[in-house]
């Protein structure tokens, strides 16, 4: 009997968020198709964890609208629609733009240097097709801007809406890594100039631009209905 490979994230004490992230990824990469069931016991066994964090994760995904619970049958994967992804992108673009503008007003030279380092590492990860590292660094880039904005409530809202965005998919979309890097460099320039309006526009356009290629990519793979 083959022992299932345990993702590195599961090598440490488990949290429901870790399991939820894995299930989201499987939904958006098509491993869990719309209409299929996610079995609590089976998933716990596959990941090598107890059922408690898995149950918490599945209820979290139910609250997000990715799963539905059916009596005596468990959790079923709901369809993902283009409208869902467009709505998420629109909200991200607005909130992200506000955070970027505030970051432009507050950012320190040290924070700018850290952003530049992250962006350099991100471009290196894209260059060698290290998708997992690219996703992590892209998240760090945006998080660093949100921290510089010094607006914790707004940043919290951004974090919540970002859960609905399939971040792990973007490095696999043809042409997106190059386009994203161009957007990031424009944003860095706005932050260096402390130009709030330019930073807001650059971030809003960056986050909004991902919706169309993402929907096309997921539609081709049968994920988006």
Residues 201, 144: Cα–Cα separation, whole Å: 18
Residue 187 corresponds to which tokens in the numbers above? Answer: 């944003």
- CATH placement of domain 8-77: 1.10.10.10
The residues spanned by each domain of the chain are 8-77, 87-211
Query: Which class does domain 87-211 fall in?
Result: mainly alpha
- The tens place of each residue's pLDDT in the chain, 225 residues long, gives 333 444 544 444 457 888 998 999 899 988 999 999 999 999 999 999 999 999 999 999 999 889 999 988 899 999 999 999 999 999 999 999 999 999 999 999 999 999 999 999 999 999 999 999 999 999 999 999 999 999 999 999 999 888 887 888 999 999 999 999 999 999 999 999 999 999 999 999 999 999 999 999 999 988 997
Residues 80, 195: Cα–Cα separation, whole Å: 37
The model carries a pTM of 0.84
Q: In a 3-state reduction of DSSP, which class is residue 49?
A: coil
Angle at 28 between CA 25 and CA 33, to 5 degrees: 110
């Amino acid at each position: 009997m083959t022992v299932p490979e345990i993702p590195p994230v599961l090598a440490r004490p488990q949290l429901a968020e870790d399991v939820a992230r894995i299930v989201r990824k499987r939904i958006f990469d098509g491993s869990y198709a719309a209409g299929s069931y996610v079995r609590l016991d089976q998933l716990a066994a596959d990941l090598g964890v107890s059922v408690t964090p898995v149950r918490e994760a599945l209820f979290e995904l139910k609250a997000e609208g990715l799963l539905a619970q059916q009596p005596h049958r468990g959790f079923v994967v709901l369809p993902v629609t283009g409208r869902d992804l467009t709505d998420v992108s629109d909200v991200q673009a607005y909130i992200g733009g506000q955070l970027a503008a505030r970051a432009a007003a507050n950012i320190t030279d040290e924070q700018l240097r850290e952003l530049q380092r992250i962006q350099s590492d991100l471009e290196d990860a894209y260059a060698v097709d290290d998708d997992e590292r690219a996703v992590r660094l892209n998240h760090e880039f945006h998080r660093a801007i949100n921290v510089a904005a010094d607006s914790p409530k707004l940043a919290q809202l951004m974090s919540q809406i970002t859960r609905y965005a399939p971040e792990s998919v973007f490095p696999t979309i043809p042409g997106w890594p190059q386009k994203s890097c161009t957007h990031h460099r424009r944003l860095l320039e706005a932050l260096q100039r402390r130009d709030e309006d330019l930073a807001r526009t650059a971030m809003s356009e960056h986050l909004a631009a991902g919706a169309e290629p993402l929907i096309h990519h997921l539609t081709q793979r049968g994920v988006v209905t």
